Copies of this chain bind each other. A is one copy, B any other.
Amino acid sequence: MAVYTEISDEALSGFLESFDIGTLVSFRGIAEGVENSNFQLRTSTGDFILTLYEKRVNVQELPWFLGFMQHLASQGVTCPQPVADRQGQTLRTLADRPAAITTFLPGVWPREVRLEHCRPLGRALAQLHLAGQSYTQERANSLGPQAWGPLLAACQQERVEAVQPGLQAELAAALAHIVPAWPGHEGNAALPRGQIHADLFPDNVFFLDHELSGLIDFYFACTDFLAYDIAICLNAWCFDADGTFNAEFSRHLVQGYEDVRPLTEAERHAMPVLAQGAAMRFLLTRLYDWINTPAGALVTPKNPLEYLPRLRFHCAVEDGRGYGF
């Protein structure tokens, strides 16, 4: 679930009075999401999402995220929009947490990925990348390749082995292969960079009447290789429930992307290592949470081992043809 912090109704009413969005009608916690507390808020003027930013979010970076969402909307990308209070502020404090109200986005995220989702997803991702080109302030990817070694080390070898014997050695070996091959690493050619979403899983993409209706949850967005965002989507959208890679999904996703922004040859060539890195990133953060989440915590940690066959798959791919390009 994603309600870590409860808000007294007095505090909420007082908070709402500083906005020009009407009076409180309904207020319910949202089950989706794991990083922040989210509430579906209805006032006499409409619907909104109230987000309380919990510990993992760096407060100093919140203006970057909120500014990025505003910028994207100004470029025609449908995403939640921060609502300014009567003083023009979008970032506020509520229940001792940084807090923001954003607009409500209609649509439903797909519980099951189908082929029809993939091409619109690719298009929307490319549109996000193009729109981000004019948002010039950079935000480093704190979960990029430089973070993976320390993250694995922080998991403690014996606890990793308890998750699956041999896992620690397999991940260390994969890292020793992926990091030196990473674009931009010690003389490797870099790839086109820009603002990426970096967490575009199905629960962050809404569809309505068979069309993509918007993107949400920009709190991992950062400045990185654009093609890495595709590699994340390959991991998040293109494996069937039994763990088999779905090349048809992948082909449609990339076709959709290239409808808007054609990939360079270097980006296609780098796709296997980018996809390996993306699998590694989600495997490692899940592994860390798996090992470090106390029993009885509010959020059930996700199984890191779901990403091991994906990582192995990407390690065996020779070039972009493995992804159906």
Binding site for B on A (CB under 8 A): 1-3, 6-10, 12, 23-32, 40, 42, 104, 106-108, 110-112, 114, 207-209, 293, 295-298, 300-301
Q: Assess the B301–A108 pair: CB atoms within 8 A.
A: no
Q: Assess the A42–B106 pair: CB atoms within 8 A.
A: yes
Q: Assess the B24–A28 pair: CB atoms within 8 A.
A: no
Q: Assess the B40–A108 pair: CB atoms within 8 A.
A: no
The 6 closest A-B pairs by CB, nearest first: A1-B1, A29-B31, A295-B295, A3-B31, A27-B108, A8-B112
Q: How far is the CB of A242 from chain B (nearest CB, A)?
A: 16
- This chain: how many copies in the complex? 2
Cα–Cα, bound, A296→B286 (Å): 14
Q: How far is the CB of A38 from chain B (nearest CB, A)?
A: 8
Q: Assess the A106–B26 pair: CB atoms within 8 A.
A: yes
Residues of B within 8 A of A1 (CB): 1-3, 31, 298
Q: How far is the CB of A105 from chain B (nearest CB, A)?
A: 8
Residues of B within 8 A of A42 (CB): 106
Q: Assess the A29–B32 pair: CB atoms within 8 A.
A: yes
Q: Return 11 A-B CB contacts under 8 Å, by A number.
A: A6-B111, A8-B111, A9-B111, A25-B107, A25-B208, A26-B106, A27-B108, A28-B31, A31-B31, A295-B295, A295-B296
Residues of B within 8 A of A3 (CB): 1, 31-32
Q: How far is the CB of A32 from chain B (nearest CB, A)?
A: 6
Q: Assess the B30–A110 pair: CB atoms within 8 A.
A: no
Which residue of B is nearest A13, CB measured?
Answer: B108
Cα–Cα, bound, A318→B94 (Å): 43
Most buried by B among A24, A110, A296: A296
Contacts A25-B106, A30-B28; A7 near B111 (Cβ below 8 A): yes
Residues of B within 8 A of A297 (CB): 300
Q: Assess the A108–B30 pair: CB atoms within 8 A.
A: no
Residues of B within 8 A of A108 (CB): 9, 12, 24, 26-27
Q: Assess the B28–A32 pair: CB atoms within 8 A.
A: yes
Residues of B within 8 A of A114 (CB): 10
Q: How far is the CB of A13 from chain B (nearest CB, A)?
A: 9
Q: How far is the CB of A231 from chain B (nearest CB, A)?
A: 25
Which residue of B is nearest A112, CB measured?
Answer: B8
Which residue of B is nearest A301, CB measured?
Answer: B296
Q: How far is the CB of A282 from chain B (nearest CB, A)?
A: 18
Q: Assess the B296–A26 pair: CB atoms within 8 A.
A: no
Residues of B within 8 A of A293 (CB): 296
Q: Assess the B106–A9 pair: CB atoms within 8 A.
A: no
Q: Assess the A9–B110 pair: CB atoms within 8 A.
A: yes
Q: How far is the CB of A39 from chain B (nearest CB, A)?
A: 8
